Homo-oligomer: A and B are copies of this chain.
């Protein structure tokens, strides 16, 4: 045995149990009350042993028009330090490019730089027939999820997107949809700007919950029209959640992701003095406390299946500069805090159970995106992507101590209960006692299986 992890409390989506873990090569090979001696031993007494976190929503590739300061290197340092051992990165697809060529670039960067394993979702930014014809080979090659933005360049190409969605479903791929109504938010934004309301305190007003809810209703109708499963990314509001709840109650294959910021912050952040509010700009905007409460209920009762970050490594300067709220680059750094914040605010505060927590940040992402049981659980034959999580430490978030290159953190000053102590990727320690020891390039590309439901 290469490695034994002893006396930890193993946590899976099915529950917790005391066990030693034996790792051989990259995989968990033994679980037992006591396992034989191994070449390397880790003491997990007093710690939870969790499956590595999976963040299925990142933007690290330095290839987009408006990129941030993080790349796969720095972004996955943050991941590793926060207990995330797999990411799914969105390959962005600009007009007039092929999917394959975009994939190639992302794949090259990931392979060269990534410290943790990574899958790639394929954005479809230009759903012309040639592009759709690329889909079968790409699905075959393990790119089993696509992405559609309803908030841009969508309304004039709905028919093409319906074809894409139907094709994805038929191929066994899951389609991730950003649900905000392009036309409504465009209309409201132009109205506000036209009235001179350029400050970030008008931002939330420009993209109201009802614009998210109606876009979500359309995504649900598209699923019904095509028979294809859809995955709503970063759902933020009670109104949109109600739409998905009704869809799921009718048996439609609709899945829901939320995003950490919607669980911990509210729109009052936009009202802070100066440019401070700009820091919190992402799409959709922060919502009200009623929405926050509805999302927690959804995490607890199963209406929401995953939490993922939409991490973009953005510093304050580019967010503070723009002349109006509509031009503030969207997104923020929050990959490193995904796992500890959800543990602290969710489990430690009694809102969700430990198994549910693991389900949200590991098991469900792995299952929905075709990486299960290789990823997402602690089981015989699974990759030894493991987090030895210390529930007893307290950490106060400070941007300078985070591994992202971004110079601010939206949770600055939050005190978090619990933090990863050791993180392993396929049996190798990549983070220990505050230091990232994994190397860029150590992360592997994960070709993913076809969608098989939850």
Which residues of A pack against B, CB within 8 Å? 10, 12-19, 22, 24, 29-33, 155-156, 158-159, 162-163, 166, 181-184, 186-188, 208, 210-211, 213-214, 217-218, 220-222, 224-226, 241-242, 245, 248-251, 293-294, 296-298, 300-303, 353, 355-356, 358-359, 363, 367, 372-373, 376-377, 379-382, 452-454
Which chain B residue lies CB-closest to A366?
A: B15
Taking the closest CB of chain B, its distance from the CB of A54, in whole angstroms, is 14
> Residue A301 contacts which of B159, B248, B353 (CB distance < 8 angstroms)?
B248
Task: Please measure, in the bound complex, the distance between the C-alpha atom of A188 and the C-alpha atom of B221, giving whole angstroms.
Answer: 12
B379 to A15, Cβ gap below 8 A? yes
B15 to A377, Cβ gap below 8 A? yes
A372 to B15, Cβ gap below 8 A? yes
Which chain B residue lies CB-closest to A247?
A: B301
What residues of chain B lie closer than 8 Å to A13, measured between beta carbons?
Answer: 13-15
What residues of chain B lie closer than 8 Å to A213, measured between beta carbons?
Answer: 221
What residues of chain B lie closer than 8 Å to A353, measured between beta carbons?
Answer: 452-454
Task: Please measure, in the bound complex, the distance between the C-alpha atom of A15 and the C-alpha atom of B296, giving whole angstroms.
Answer: 24
Task: Please measure, in the bound complex, the distance between the C-alpha atom of A454 and the C-alpha atom of B218, giving whole angstroms.
Answer: 30
B159 to A187, Cβ gap below 8 A? yes
Task: Please measure, in the bound complex, the distance between the C-alpha atom of A21 and the C-alpha atom of B153, giving whole angstroms.
Answer: 54
> Residue A32 contacts which of B22, B182, B355 (CB distance < 8 angstroms)?
B22
Which chain B residue lies CB-closest to A376?
A: B15
Task: Please measure, in the bound complex, the distance between the C-alpha atom of A298 and the C-alpha atom of B251, giving whole angstroms.
Answer: 8
B210 to A224, Cβ gap below 8 A? yes
What residues of chain B lie closer than 8 Å to A29, measured between beta carbons?
Answer: 32-33
B251 to A297, Cβ gap below 8 A? yes
> Residue A380 contacts which of B10, B183, B214, B294 (CB distance < 8 angstroms)?
B10
What residues of chain B lie closer than 8 Å to A12, measured between beta carbons?
Answer: 12, 14, 379
> By DSSP majority rule, is chain A's interface helix, strand, loop, or mixed?
helix
A186 to B210, Cβ gap below 8 A? no
Can you offer 16 A-B residue contacts whose CB atoms are under 8 A?
Answer: A13-B13, A13-B14, A14-B358, A15-B377, A17-B373, A18-B381, A29-B32, A31-B31, A31-B379, A155-B159, A156-B156, A159-B187, A162-B184, A217-B218, A241-B249, A302-B302
> Residue A221 contacts which of B184, B186, B452 (CB distance < 8 angstroms)?
B184
What residues of chain B lie closer than 8 Å to A377, measured between beta carbons?
Answer: 14-15, 17
Taking the closest CB of chain B, its distance from the CB of A357, in whole angstroms, is 12
What residues of chain B lie closer than 8 Å to A376, measured between beta carbons?
Answer: 15
B214 to A250, Cβ gap below 8 A? no
A381 to B33, Cβ gap below 8 A? yes
Taking the closest CB of chain B, its distance from the CB of A121, in whole angstroms, is 22
Which chain B residue lies CB-closest to A11?
A: B14
Which chain B residue lies CB-closest to A454?
A: B353
A214 to B210, Cβ gap below 8 A? no
What residues of chain B lie closer than 8 Å to A186, measured between beta carbons?
Answer: 159
What residues of chain B lie closer than 8 Å to A33, measured between beta carbons?
Answer: 24, 29-30, 380-381
Task: Please measure, in the bound complex, the distance between the C-alpha atom of A213 and the C-alpha atom of B293, giving whole angstroms.
Answer: 21
Which chain B residue lies CB-closest to A31?
A: B31
What residues of chain B lie closer than 8 Å to A226, measured between beta carbons?
Answer: 187
Taking the closest CB of chain B, its distance from the CB of A327, in whole angstroms, is 19
> Residue A184 contacts which of B222, B302, B355, B356 (CB distance < 8 angstroms)?
B222
What residues of chain B lie closer than 8 Å to A372, measured between beta carbons?
Answer: 15
Known A-B contacts A18-B380, A381-B33; A183 and B210 likewise in contact (beta carbons under 8 Å): no
Known A-B contacts A214-B218, A221-B210, A251-B297; A363 and B15 likewise in contact (beta carbons under 8 Å): yes
Task: Please measure, in the bound complex, the distance between the C-alpha atom of A10 and the C-alpha atom of B382, giving whole angstroms.
Answer: 13
What residues of chain B lie closer than 8 Å to A250, measured between beta carbons?
Answer: 297
What residues of chain B lie closer than 8 Å to A17, measured between beta carbons?
Answer: 373, 377, 379-382
